[in-house]
Structure 1
Amino acid sequence: MAKSKSSPGVQNRAIFSRASYLYQAATYLSQRAATTTTSSSSSSSQTHQRKQLRNLSRRAISEMRAVTRKAQIRQSHPLKRSLCTACNTLLVEGDTCQSTIENPSKGARKPWADVLVVRCVTCSRPKRFPISAPRQTRAALRRSASGSGSRSSGNSASGTTGEREPSKGEERGEVASLNQNEDSSRGIEMKKI
């Protein structure tokens, strides 16, 4: 008798569950450290306990990152944004991190240049996230999209193909950058030549 085929599930289920457990444990320990500060009994033992809980939380995050790195598991973007890459602290707004919005443009004139700066309280390292800019697609997806839409070398001389001639900068490999709103309204796709 042949072995029945099961549906293909997650390959590294044990590693995924371990990483998830470590993240949940770190979240619980971080919340527990935040709640111990509100009660007001012996302050020196409270601060010592809070410090121990935060260190345990950081240790759990460190182990989770090591496990996912070793198994080459890609972490989600919200998960990565909730961690400090320098000290492995779980970033909780108002408790372990402070958020501000900066605009590095001259006189803050460009509203699309707003940057969310999340500063870790433990190590004071900033993480910067663009606010209004959309996420860029992954390189593998860009390559597959550009490979299927590549130009043929036999363009007609009359110019009825609807494609524009590349400028001198584009011939050298430089890509013109236009405002994204203008690109979508005109239907122009920017591809590396």
Structure 2
Amino acid sequence: MTQTSSKKELSLEQREEILSILKDRFEKHMHRHEGHKWVDVQAKLDANADKLWSLNEMEATGGEPDVIGYDEEKDEYIYCDCAKESPKGRRSVCYDREALDARKKHKPENSAMDMARDMGIEMLTEEQYRSLQKLENFDMKTSSWIETPSDIRKLGGALFCDYRYGNVFVYHNGADSYYGARGFRGLLRV
């Protein structure tokens, strides 16, 4: 990843680069955040270096993060991975650490939950995934793990979603499974 120290800080050059990328994407996709101005978003980013580090990690793994909403009550902008397909740098991972540790053969390198935690982001819930799909269509060739209810996870399963035939589909799989076309999308509040 692009971490420059154990404090999860970006160099000045990295900071300028990610801000430029985020600004360009923000301006190119105004339909995702109508009524909001980049200057307000950047003010939040300038005040939260750790969040900018997380956005840089989202970008570095192919997520193409962009603002998709604003929580007025908490005064937070909501960033989400807006890559057309599940982020390339986060595919071929099982669901969580428990599933990874339980695998005896052919273990993936990581799990979605561990990666999300290490990046400082949340995995999407089913509701958040469905809301994202209302902005535009994502995961038309891939799929993405989503946060799984504990009763399903206790039985060894995990949930994932994709978009096919004009609809969002929610599926189940063993939490220890992993595929080259399945990753996860993250959400970050700034």
Give TM-score, length-normalised by structure 2: 0.25
Higher strand share: 2
Give TM-score, length-normalised by structure 1: 0.25
Larger radius of gyration: 1
